[in-house]
Structure 1
C-alpha cells in the first residue's frame, strides 16, 4: 500500500511509495482526471523536477499523451501504407522493404519504444548482414517517413530517425560506353532488338518508356518520338501501362538521322502492325519485358566483348553523356530525360523543337564521323537491306 505521506502542490502531487521511490500524479489536460507518471524517481527533488517539466509542456501545448505511443509499429505502418496514394510499383516496393527489413525488428514494438539507439542498432545490423547500402538507405527513408507521420499524429514527440547521412549514399560511377561499344552490341544482339539499343543510345529513354512506345509515337520525317506512357512490371509479372509520373515525363525527344534507316527497317520487319500498335514487341509477338529481353542482352554483351557488369541502363547513360558532350545544357538534358520540373517541362513543350533537333543532329554527326559513315540518308530514310 502506498505511503500516506503526500505533498500537496499547486500542480499535481508527489508521494513516496513503500519502496522508497517517489511517484508523481498530475491532471490530464484532456480529461482533467489525475494520472500517474510513467515512471518513479529515486528522490523527491527528481520527482518535483519531472512534474515541473510536465506542467511546462502542458502550458506550451507540447505535452504528448504517454499512452499515445502504445501503438504497434507494424499496425501503424500498414495503416500508413493503406492511406497513401501510391503507384502500384511504389506500393509493392514499400511492402517488400517493410516485410524484409523493417518489420522483423520493429513490427511488434510500440511506437514509443523505438528510440534513436534502437534505430542505430537496426541500421548497423542490416549493413553487417551485407544488405546492400542502397536498400538500407531506402529502408531508413521509409522508416523515417512513417515515424514522421506518427509525430504529426502526436503519437510520439520526436522522430527517432536522426542518423546524420543515413538517408543518402554514394552512387558508384557507372561505366560510360563508347560509340564503338554501342554499335558492337547493336550488331551482336538479335535483329529485333537492334533498334531498341540504338534508340536508347540516341534518345536516353527508359526501357519502360520504349516498351510502351506505339508506332504513331515515332515521327520519322520530323525525327521526333513522343513519350506518352510508361510500362511497369510488378514482381508478380503483371504489366501496367500508365501515364508518366509528371508532366515533365510527357515529352517529345528528337533523334539523329543516323538511325532513321534502322528505325525504318525495324518498322518493316519487327514492329507490330497498325498505327496504334507497339513499336517493340516480345519474341513471340507479346509485350516487351525485361525477362524476355535479358538473355539476348547478356549474350550480345558477351559477343561484343563488353564487361559483364554493364547494364542495359548504361546505354541510356551513354545517350545522356553524348548529348551533354554535344552542347545540351542542363535544362535541355533534363527535358530529354524527363526529369525537369513542371515549369521547365511546359517551357520545353511550348518552344520550338529546332534546338532539340539541332542537338540530335550534332549527336548524329559526331557518331557518323567516328564510325566513318557516309553522308546522311535522303529524306525518305530508305534503309540499306539487312540480312536477318
Structure 2
C-alpha cells in the first residue's frame, strides 16, 4: 500500500528559519504576498496564526500589516494638518504631541501600538502631569487612532481605558453679587463694563475683546442687548486674530442684559469705546487690544483691592452669570442660548441647586404638603352628604 501524501495547506505556507523559529507567509486580499509581523516558536503556532488570518480575510476584517508601518509622530502631524483646525486648536494639539506623546510614543509604528503600551504611557504621564492635562492628551491620541482605524491602518484602536479621556477638574469658584460689583468698582474704570458684561452677558474674554459698538445696543429705556459675532484669539507667539466664537453657530448669539447695568454701559461707550459702529468697545490706555497676560495683572489688583476671592478668574464671572440665570428658573436650553453652548452637557452644571435654592424648593414643597393635608382634614371633618 502506497504511503499517504501529507495534505498541502490550502492557505499560506510555513517554513523554519536557520534560527529555529518558524515564519508564516500568505496572500492577502490585495493579491500580494505577506509575512506574519513576527516569527513563531513552533510550526503549530505559525499554522494557528494562519488559520486566524484566513478567518479575518473571510470576514472582511483583514488589515494589511504593512499599512501600519508609519511612526505615530508622523501620522499625528499629518492628522493635525488635515483636520482644518482653528489656529489656536492646532497649536494646542501640536504642543500636546510635542510635550506628552512624541517623547514616549513618537517613533512607535501605529500598527505596533497596543493597549499595554498605551496604559504604560498614560501611567507614566500621571506621575508628573496633571490629571486634567493627561485626560486631554489621551483624548487626542484616541482621536488620532480612531482615524487610523477608519483608514484601515490598524484593526482596532488601542486606546481602550474607560474614563481616561474624562477630565476631572475641581469645580471653579463663582463670585457673589457683592463681589462682582466690588471688583467692577475697583478695577480700572475702562474695564468696569467688561466685568459686568462677563457676568451678566456670560461673555468670554476673547468675545469681549472682539465687540464693536454696533454689537452693543443700549436704549434710553429698557434692556440692553449685546450681540456676540466673533472672538479674538491669541496664539502662543503673541499674534492676535479674529475668529468665530467658540461653539460655532451656537456661539453667535444675542444676549439680553439687565436694565440695571445700562448706566455703566452708557458711561463706558461715552468715555472709553472707539467711535463709529465698527469702533472697538474695549481698548487699552494706548489704544491696543488687551492681552490676557496684561489684563491678568489688572484683574489681580482689582481682586486684592476689592477683597474678593483671590482665586477668582475673569472666566469665573461667566460661570457666576450662568448660575444666576439658572436660579431665576431658566431652562437648560435657555441657559445654553445665553452662554453659546452647543450641547446640554456644559449648561447642565448651572442647574445644580445651591443650598439657598434647595431650601426654597423644600419650603415650597412644605407649603404644598401643608395645603394638601389641610384640605384632607377639612374633607374628613365635613364629609359630603349622602
The TM-score normalised by the length of structure 1 is 0.82
Question: Residue in 2 aligned with 1:360?
Answer: none
Question: Residue in 1 aligned with 2:243?
Answer: 242
Q: Does 1:99 align with 2:101?
A: no
Q: Is the 8 A contact 2:11 2:54 kept in 1?
A: yes
Q: Secondary structure of 1:11's partner?
A: coil
Q: Does 1:140 align with 2:138?
A: yes
Q: Paired residues, what number?
A: 335
The 5-angstrom pairing of residues 1-388 of structure 1 reads 8-33=8-33, 35-129=34-128, 131-221=129-219, 222-244=223-245, 245-340=247-342
Q: Secondary structure of 1:205's partner?
A: coil
| C-alpha spacing 1:175/1:43, structure 2 compared with 1 (3 Å) | same
Q: Secondary structure of 1:69's partner?
A: coil
Q: Is the 8 A contact 2:28 2:57 kept in 1?
A: no
Shift of residue 340, structure 1, vs aligned partner: 3.7
Task: Summarize deviations over 1:297-332 as a string: whole Å, max 9, x none.
Answer: 000101111232211111111111111111211111
Q: Secondary structure of 1:180's partner?
A: helix
Work out the CA distance in 2 between the residues paired with 1:161 and 1:232: 31
| C-alpha spacing 1:26/1:7, structure 2 compared with 1 (3 Å) | farther
Q: Secondary structure of 1:66's partner?
A: coil
Q: Secondary structure of 1:313's partner?
A: helix
Work out the CA distance in 1 between the residues paired with 2:189 and 2:83: 44
Question: Residue in 2 aligned with 1:357?
Answer: none
Return 5+ residue gaps in structure 1 as ranges.
1-5, 343-388
Q: Is the 8 A contact 2:136 2:167 kept in 1?
A: no
Q: Is the 8 A contact 1:186 1:197 kept in 2?
A: yes
Work out the CA distance in 2 between the residues paired with 1:341 and 1:174: 20
Work out the CA distance in 2 between the residues paired with 1:223 and 1:250: 17
Work out the CA distance in 1 between the residues paired with 2:107 and 2:284: 45
Shift of residue 190, structure 1, vs aligned partner: 0.9
Work out the CA distance in 2 between the residues paired with 1:333 and 1:274: 32
Calculate the aligned-residue CA RMSD, in Å. Answer: 1.8
Deviation larger for 164-173 or 6-15: 6-15
Shift of residue 18, structure 1, vs aligned partner: 4.4
Q: Is the 8 A contact 2:136 2:165 kept in 1?
A: yes
Shift of residue 15, structure 1, vs aligned partner: 3.3
Deviation larger for 249-258 or 214-223: 214-223
Shift of residue 75, structure 1, vs aligned partner: 1.1
Work out the CA distance in 1 between the residues paired with 2:35 and 2:200: 69
Return 5+ residue gaps in structure 2 as ranges.
1-5, 345-386
Work out the CA distance in 2 between the residues paired with 1:215 and 1:173: 34
Q: Secondary structure of 1:59's partner?
A: helix
Shift of residue 48, structure 1, vs aligned partner: 2.1
